[in-house]
Amino acid sequence: MEPTTRLDRHLGFLLTADRLKRVERSNRLHDGSRFENSAEHSWHLCLMALTLAEHAPPGTDIGRVVEMLVVHDVVEIDAGDHWVVAENAAAVAAKEAAAAERLFALLPDDQHRRFHALWTEYEARATAEARFARALDSLHPMLLVWGPGASDEVHVPVTAAFMREHKRAALEPYPALWVLAQSLLDGAVARGVLAP
């Protein structure tokens, strides 16, 4: 049955969005007990944005950063979570674009346009808010996997050198966050859970 009222469309979207809790990510929780899901990831990123706001460039609208972080991974309901590298970037982008169109279209038209615009802004990284959101998204799995007190399990077969290069563009513009990322990687190498 097609939704007939604005509230029906809201409810349809919200109940569909609940499926994000079932999308398993490739990294574990900080304590190593289980894999994180994408809804938990989004929540933790929003908390990171509020907590680490002082590391954003002056004038950055942290409220908009949080809005982007709330919606940026909704597409994973359809597209799944992926470790994106050069070889799969175009395919992942196409899957996520199709997912964004389908999922945000569940909302009333004005909200469809607004949520889709937030997702597009995040993906384009053309604004200070989108770049800061991306930096936090880059830092988050590193913090969980290699942060102080993290599990000693080796989660992903990568090297510290690869991670530095893979995360550099997103994090280097934020000196304190880049120093933190380097420290996380150095600590993981020292503990023997990440190859140099």
CA angle 27, 147, 158 (to 5 degrees): 50
Q: In which band, very low, low, confident or very high, does the pLDDT at 3 lie, cut at 50, 70 and 90?
A: low
Q: Which residues 6+ apart lie within 8 Å of 45 measured at CB? A: 69, 133, 136, 137, 140
Model pLDDT for residues 82-141, shown as the tens digit of each residue: 877 778 889 989 999 999 999 999 999 999 999 999 999 999 999 999 999 999 999 999
pTM recorded for the entire structure: 0.94
Amino acid (1-letter code) at residue 100: A
Model pLDDT for residues 47-70, shown as the tens digit of each residue: 999 999 999 999 999 999 999 999
Structure tokens at 102: 């389908």
Buried b (16+ CB within 10 A) or exposed e, 118-143: bbebbbebebbbbbbbbbbbbbbbbb
Q: In which band, very low, low, confident or very high, does the pLDDT at 158 lie, cut at 50, 70 and 90?
A: confident
pLDDT at 156: 61
For the chain, the straight-line distance linking the first and the last C-alpha, in angstroms and rounded, comes to: 56
- Which residue is listed with tokens 């599990």? 151
CB atoms within 10 A of CB 171: 23
Residue from 20, 70, 74 nearest 43 by CA: 70
- Which residue is listed with tokens 């893979």? 166
Say whether 4 sits in a helix, a strand or coil. coil
Q: In which band, very low, low, confident or very high, does the pLDDT at 2 lie, cut at 50, 70 and 90?
A: low
